[in-house]
Chain A
């Protein structure tokens, strides 16, 4: 079953023709943006001279930091009145990275997501309960539009509110859910707590996402919930969810190559690696009007699966993400860099130089603990004052990283001193 059989099963030569044509268009649009105008000029890139896909290598990489310094709209390639949507993810030093979409971009994105959902066997007969966050985060709205495009009835629940989630699954017969793996495990326990056997609820399928998880966790969710759980891949810089999607064979994720040109590079040298070798995924968005992005360093490690897939789709599959080439953490679905936390802490005079970030999973939910040493000179002997300090730190952190960490005040000198690269992050979650 395909959403667009012609495009999904197109031969490689045909696919590459589409890629080149779209790349050229994206390059001429990109050349009009302040950011790429400068990059192309500084690196002697003439979009008119990009006549084969092999020339893509002449274009410099784009990084998350490039998106940040282009804040708010340095990469926008269309007039403001053509933009209908923006999303944003938290940035490394306070400024978010923002992505813009035209009407066509939103529509194309919905098609792309619908394509992935159909590849897993979802049909208009399904009721889709979306338990992913709505808002600036792309996860909720991304699948929402895709499922609507496909023709499912969509229940836009967003996260949390577990009792209502269960009630709506029962009352409206939800068959497909979109959920973070940690919340899926929590939900299973809650359902059991109500004396219901989770498989009896009738949910058939879950799209997992927004946080790292192991195959073991997927197996556990499938078994305990009695459903099929699917991996997919995406990030806001590349629209959001739906960049790559598993098909029913659950063996790698088809990356929609008429939307993206994907490369796997050696993260050290930046050189392209042969098909099948593991490296960093680099993506060029060739199907977005508002904001073309060329050779984006995803920092995600994966490899292409060169063999053809029995489902008949010709778009190459990538393996589940193995890890990252930077220190980004994903906590409750939110991307957090340790440097963001450090910046906040170091702006609070009561905090000493040492801190630790500890990630735990309690009742299947992520918890972030931040341990900070109290700075002796700022201690005035009052409990109230320390409670206020904790509250102030919590609020300052939440403003930047959007999640609420638990703050623990420690005596000065109780953490190992920061010598060179002190280990700051302790991820104790068993994924």
Chain B
């Protein structure tokens, strides 16, 4: 399963600059970034090529960061592609806590990344339904 880097950030200018600066110096590549905001502060979520290294580097710089297991699957970039995934999750009563997606190749491949309570069970469900579950490495080989 892939890992997402979560970073605690106060809601003020310069936060993303600081985080990306640390990653740039370590030559870490960002595949996706999203921010969950809660008013005074937010959590910056990143998919990077070397998650553990990224967390270590951020912590070393005094930033509160942690790794989290997530589910990432390949979906077809066509109308209804994501709906197929969502139907399976609904049928199995899996609650999606936070999600984002990005397109790898237009009209062909997209990646859907999401947080759930039980990552292993969700991966199993989707893989049995024929979806391709991506690992850290695979996310970057796309």
Contacts and interface: CB of A to CB of B under 8 A. Distances in A.
B38 A411 contact: no
B62 A381 contact: no
A412 B41 contact: no
Contacts of B67: 381
Contacts of B9: 411
Interface string A346-382: 0000000000000000000000000000111001111
Contact of B68 (A381, A408, A412, A413): A381
A379 B41 contact: no
Contact of A374 (B38, B42, B45, B64): B64
Contacts of A387: 38
A411 B62 CA distance: 8
A383 B43 contact: yes
B26 to A, nearest CB: 18
Given A374-B8, A379-B8, A381-B66, A409 B41 contact: yes
A382 B97 CA distance: 10
Interface string A35-66: 00000000000000000000000000000000
B127 interface: no
Interface in A402-418: 408-414
A411 B63 contact: yes
B38 A379 contact: no
Interface string A380-407: 1111001100000000000000000000
B59 interface: yes
Interface string B12-52: 00000000000000000000000010101111010000000
Contacts of B122: none
Contact of B64 (A383, A408, A411): A411
A380 to B, nearest CB: 5
Nearest to A407: B40
A380 B8 CA distance: 9
Given A376-B62, A410-B10, A411-B62, 16 more contacts: A374-B8, A374-B64, A379-B6, A379-B64, A379-B66, A381-B66, A382-B6, A383-B38, A386-B8, A386-B38, A386-B41, A411-B8, A411-B10, A411-B63, A413-B62, A414-B10
Interface of A: 374-376, 379-383, 386-387, 408-414
9 contacts: A375-B64, A376-B64, A381-B6, A381-B65, A383-B43, A408-B40, A410-B10, A411-B8, A411-B62
